[in-house]
């Protein structure tokens, strides 16, 4: 925006200088014509044909006044031209300084853009590397979990295989115990039948009612405790 304003000012000053030059040339041409005309009049005074009622002093005074006016106008125009040239030089200096500033800012901007582009490239590479590392770690974690799950399944299968023979052995032992109990019951039934056939003994008041006695079998207790611990 400042550069465009300076360019417009410079163009305006140049147009002013061109106009002043044209005016100056026109004024010089008019002065030359006036001087030529005055010379002719001076030469014609000897004959007395031109301005017979005017004296030479009046004509000289008029010519001197015109010359002074022309000189003052010329000086004013020269001063104006000097001022305009100074403004033009100042405008050119400002435009040059602004151009240098713009070029410097452009250079800094390009350097900053290059630096940021390089930084973005490095960050993109680092992000890609981290993505690859994350993918590898996820794959390794999935593989480790799968192996751990397979190991647990294998361990559980082995434990079930070991428990089945133990359960079979304990079932056989229980069946043996049941067979022994059945034999004992049969013996007890035979004894009961014999007791029923024999006459009952006389009852005495001192006798008490017989109580059921349970025999303790240590092997059976061990087996029962083992089964309880297993479950």
pLDDT in tens, 43-98: 666 555 544 555 677 778 888 888 888 888 888 888 888 888 888 888 888 888 88
Sign of CA dihedral 221, 227, 229, 231: negative
Q: Which residues contact 102 (CB under 8 A, 6 or more apart)?
A: 3
Percent of the chain with pLDDT over 90: 20
Determine phi and psi for 205, rounding to 5 degrees: -65, -20
The domains of the chain are located at: 2-106
What is the DSSP code string of 116-177? HHHHHHHHHHHHHHHHHHHHHHHHHHHHHHHHHHHHHHHHHHHHHHHHHHHHHHHHHHHHHH
Q: How far apart are CA 85 and CA 18, in angstroms?
A: 11
Residue 62: predicted pLDDT: 82
Q: What's the average model confidence in pLDDT over 172-192?
A: 56
Of the spans 69-78, 128-137, 210-219, which averages the highest pLDDT? 128-137
Q: Using the predicted structure, report yes or no on whether residue 141 has a pLDDT greater than 50.
A: yes
pLDDT in tens, 2-49: 667 777 777 777 787 888 888 878 888 878 888 887 777 776 665 555
Q: What's the average model confidence in pLDDT over 138-162?
A: 85
The pTM score is: 0.36
pLDDT in tens, 158-171: 777 666 655 555 55
Print the SS3 string covering the chain: CHHHHHHHHHHHHHHHHHHHHHHHHHHHHHHHHHHHHHHHHHHHCCCCCCCCCCCHHHHHHHHHHHHHHHHHHHHHHHHHHHHHHHHHHHHHHHHHHHHHHHHHHHHHHHHHHHHHHHHHHHHHHHHHHHHHHHHHHHHHHHHHHHHHHHHHHHHHHHHHHHHHHHHHHHHHHHHHHHHHHHHHHHHHHHHHHHHHHCCCCCCCCCCCCCCCCCCCCHHHHHHHHHHHHHC
Residue 127: predicted pLDDT: 94
């Amino acid at each position: 925006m400042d550069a465009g304003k300076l360019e417009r000012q410079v163009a305006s000053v140049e147009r002013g200088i061109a106009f002043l030059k044209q005016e100056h040339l026109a004024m010089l041409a008019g002065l030359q014509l006036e001087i030529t005309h005055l010379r002719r009049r001076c030469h014609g005074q000897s004959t007395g044909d031109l301005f017979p009622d005017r004296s030479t002093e009046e004509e000289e005074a008029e010519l001197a006044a015109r010359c002074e006016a022309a000189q003052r106008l010329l000086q004013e125009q020269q001063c104006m031209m000097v001022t305009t040239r100074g403004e033009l030089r100042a405008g050119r200096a400002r435009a040059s300084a602004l151009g240098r500033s713009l070029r410097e800012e452009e250079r800094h901007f390009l350097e900053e853009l290059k630096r940021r582009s390089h930084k973005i490239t490095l960050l993109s590479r680092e992000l890609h590397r981290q993505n690859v590392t994350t993918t590898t770690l996820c794959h390794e974690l999935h593989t480790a979990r799968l192996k751990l799950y397979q190991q647990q399944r294998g361990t559980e299968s082995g434990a079930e295989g070991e428990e089945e023979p133990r359960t079979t052995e304990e079932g056989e032992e229980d069946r043996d115990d049941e067979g022994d109990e059945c034999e004992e019951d049969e013996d007890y039934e035979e004894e009961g039948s014999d007791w029923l056939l024999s006459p009952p003994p006389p009852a005495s008041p001192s006798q008490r009612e017989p109580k059921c006695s349970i025999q303790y079998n240590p092997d059976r207790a061990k087996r029962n405790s083992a089964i309880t611990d297993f479950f």
